[in-house]
Structure 1
Amino acid sequence: MIKQWLCIALCSVSIAAADINIPPAALNEIAGKIYRNETGGKRENLVVWNNGENFPSLGIGHFIWYKYNEPERFEESFPALVTFYKTKNIELPWILRMYRYAPWKTQAEFLNAKHNDPAFKDLENFLYNTQAVQIEFIAERLNASLPKILAATSQKKRVKENFNRLLNTPSGLYALIDYINFKGEGINQNERYQGQGWGLLQVLETMDPNVAQKDLMQSFRTAAKTVMSNRVKNAPKERNEERWLAGWHNRIDTYQ
């Protein structure tokens, strides 16, 4: 049902940029994969507040939404999605009309709302029913990413070649879109542990530049796992990021 609904919606959507044109059918398939990656295919996981985090995550991209005055350690992406909805003239649910910042101050307050507040359920349903808009937003983020990534690296030729080679294969396109949604572009200086990032830039820099085309996805997976393992190694011990590493590696293994 989800894939059928997404296909109907996305068949009328054109995603294009100067260098990237993603067919709606391909975008539809990627949307389904990202939905399963982020939610396990469960609607109730579209709005979550993970243990160990100070913020909720929403939508198929688990876009971060900070409460007021929360330090922005990781890139906040949900407000940009809300703005994207507005450009599409999509009517927003009450919570998104009323609040610029996440309205829940603690995880306990969030969970109480999740179980008892009808407005929370409206938000959840809205995000479920507008998945096509969210994947369009994610794809446009990829469209805009390459110039920013190249501006942030001294390995411009290597990074651009790896990006373009991935872009021209179905599996590579999915990997690019999912990873940039999963761990970001890698250019935000706040998203660093001991000076090292973990976004798409770092993966493209780590990939073997001489790998054969048939081994391209294996090279991406190996590089992504290396970057994720380095993140865990460099993270503050109190964050206990080791608990997430196996799941992160499992997600990377979907890049086949």
Structure 2
Amino acid sequence: MGGQFISQRITSVSRSMERQALSRGPAGLARARQALLLSCVVLGLAANGSAWADGTVAAKPAEAEQAARDVAPPPQPPKTEPETVGRPAEVQTPGLKVVVPSTEPSKPVATERKGDARNPGRDAKDTKNLSVPQRMLPADVAQMIGRKIWLNEAGGRRDAITSWNAGEEFASLGIGHFIWYPTTAKPPFEEGFPGLITFLRKGKTPLPSWLDKTPIPACPWTSRADFKRNFNSPQMRQLRQFLLDTMAEQTQFLVARAQGAMDKILANTPDSAEREHIVAQYSRVVRASEDLYPLIDYINFKGEGTNPSETAVDKETGQRQGWGLKQVLLKMNGTITEPKAVLAEYSEAVQVVLQQRVRNLPSNRVWEAGWLRRAETYRRPIAQLEQVPERAPRRSSRYRADNTRF
């Protein structure tokens, strides 16, 4: 509609101007044509304006388009956006299923400016975006693993499921020797026993009445001497039987701790390439180990590798080095997925990390042979591991970062 009106208007103006120009001679005719061209441009712009207003597009006469190019300023180069970095895709992780990251390259679903300032909230979100496998063990497998960890930690001795090592300020309880502090202690390590009790309570496991309190009470024995005096008390005997009866449930707690450890490790790893490397290697081990024993046992044995106090100075580089799961996964570089080869690589990486600790803390050499034997058990599924004979409880292998023993 607007285009038809403009066309009629241009025709009318053209005829009027030509009649006037003929009476003024050739010069007047030239000036009239220039004025006509300018009028076409103005009327064409008006047509476009009305077309945009009512949602339609008006066609420009060819002459007006050419005139617009003649009078318009030169075009400006398009503005370039800063280079962007893709974020990993957000993954929803089911509770009880194994979620293994795809082997194909991930496609970014959102972008982030390189110039943007990083902040802890964004780093935490990026960490959660990485896909970490999750798993819940069958009860019979959990029972086998619990027994094996009990053999590793306490030599399979019934009485050693409740212990208090010489030189330490805490009780060590259960299959994983979970630490429990009295109110008088100064905790140098992360306390695990109250977390175990909370986990068992959520799972509806019946608890001894004196433990089934909120908050979880502190260790009732204030020292190793007090613990030994009460070793055969009704309370201690009840605690021992409770821990022997809940091996499978304690193993599930260790599984949850192992999976939660990855959140700690990734949050403690600022470099995105290292985070992806850690997830890739962790996923390889999860695929290769149906029972998760190598991961469960090592995290319980040497931790996640994120505590700055659980490091030692390398005498050659001067850098502090840890010995937890993070350091083991960073030592692994393979890509094959054949289970036997993956578990062999994991076992060897554990041994390298432990030998590195011994070099940095020479007083730990007394434990080296036993540690390396324990790492060898990670090569095979739990069902294939031979039951080792009972042995005397081991001495504590906990050391401060300054190489002084507790």
- Displacement after TM superposition at 1:82 (Å): 1.2
Contact 1:38 1:62 in 2 (8 A): yes
Report the count of equivalent residues: 239
Other structure's SS at 1:127 match: helix
Q: Distance in 2 between matches of 1:76 and 1:61?
A: 12
- Displacement after TM superposition at 1:189 (Å): 2.7
Contact 2:288 2:343 in 1 (8 A): no
Contact 2:154 2:160 in 1 (8 A): yes
Structure 1's consecutive aligned runs of 4 or more residues displaced over 6 angstroms after TM superposition are none
Contact 1:162 1:204 in 2 (8 A): yes
Are 1:118 and 2:239 an aligned pair? no
Q: Which amino acid in the other structure matches residue 309 of structure 2?
A: N
Contact 1:166 1:216 in 2 (8 A): yes
Is the alpha carbon distance of 1:88 and 1:204 closer, same or farther for their aligned partners in structure 2, counting shifts above 3 Å? same
Give unpaired runs (5+ residues) of structure 1: 1-13
Residue in 1 that maps onto 2:118: none
Residue in 1 that maps onto 2:252: 136
Residue in 1 that maps onto 2:201: 86
Residue in 2 that maps onto 1:196: 321
Are 1:74 and 2:197 an aligned pair? no
Q: Distance in 2 between matches of 1:26 and 1:117?
A: 33
Residue in 2 that maps onto 1:241: 364
Q: Which amino acid in the other structure matches residue 204 of structure 1?
A: L
Contact 2:162 2:240 in 1 (8 A): yes
Are 1:108 and 2:225 an aligned pair? yes
Contact 1:55 1:65 in 2 (8 A): yes
Q: Distance in 2 between matches of 1:84 and 1:16?
A: 19
Contact 1:67 1:101 in 2 (8 A): yes
Is the alpha carbon distance of 1:243 and 1:93 closer, same or farther for their aligned partners in structure 2, counting shifts above 3 Å? farther
Q: Which amino acid in the other structure matches residue 365 of structure 2?
A: E
- Displacement after TM superposition at 1:228 (Å): 1.9
Identical positions, percent: 38
| Range that drifts further, 202-211 or 162-171 | 202-211
Residue in 2 that maps onto 1:7: none
Q: Distance in 2 between matches of 1:246 and 1:112?
A: 33
- Displacement after TM superposition at 1:35 (Å): 2.6
Q: Distance in 1 between matches of 2:186 and 2:197?
A: 20
Give unpaired runs (5+ residues) of structure 2: 1-94, 100-132, 314-319, 380-406
- Displacement after TM superposition at 1:94 (Å): 5.1
1:111-142 Cα distance to aligned partner (Å, 9 max, x none): 2221x422111111111111121111111112
Are 1:43 and 2:158 an aligned pair? yes
Is the alpha carbon distance of 1:138 and 1:15 closer, same or farther for their aligned partners in structure 2, counting shifts above 3 Å? farther
Alpha-carbon RMSD: 2.6
Q: Which amino acid in the other structure matches residue 188 of structure 1?
A: N
Residue in 2 that maps onto 1:222: 348
Match of 1:170 among 284, 289, 308: 289
Q: Which amino acid in the other structure matches residue 191 of structure 2?
A: E
Match of 1:206 among 324, 327, 331: 331
Other structure's SS at 1:92 match: coil
- Displacement after TM superposition at 1:218 (Å): 2.3
Q: Which amino acid in the other structure matches residue 135 of structure 1?
A: T
Q: Distance in 1 between matches of 2:183 and 2:97?
A: 35
Contact 1:15 1:140 in 2 (8 A): no
Which one has a larger percent helix, Structure 1 or Structure 2? 1
Q: Distance in 1 between matches of 2:306 and 2:352?
A: 18
Q: Distance in 2 between matches of 1:112 and 1:232?
A: 35
Contact 2:97 2:135 in 1 (8 A): yes
Is the alpha carbon distance of 1:106 and 1:232 closer, same or farther for their aligned partners in structure 2, counting shifts above 3 Å? farther
- Choose between structure 1 and 2 for higher RCO, CA contacts under 8 A separated by at least 6 residues: 1
Q: Which amino acid in the other structure matches residue 196 of structure 1?
A: Q
1:186-238 Cα distance to aligned partner (Å, 9 max, x none): 12233333432221111111223456744322221222122223333434x7x
Q: Distance in 2 between matches of 1:165 and 1:17?
A: 12
Contact 1:74 1:190 in 2 (8 A): no
Other structure's SS at 1:253 match: helix
Q: Which amino acid in the other structure matches residue 243 of structure 1?
A: V
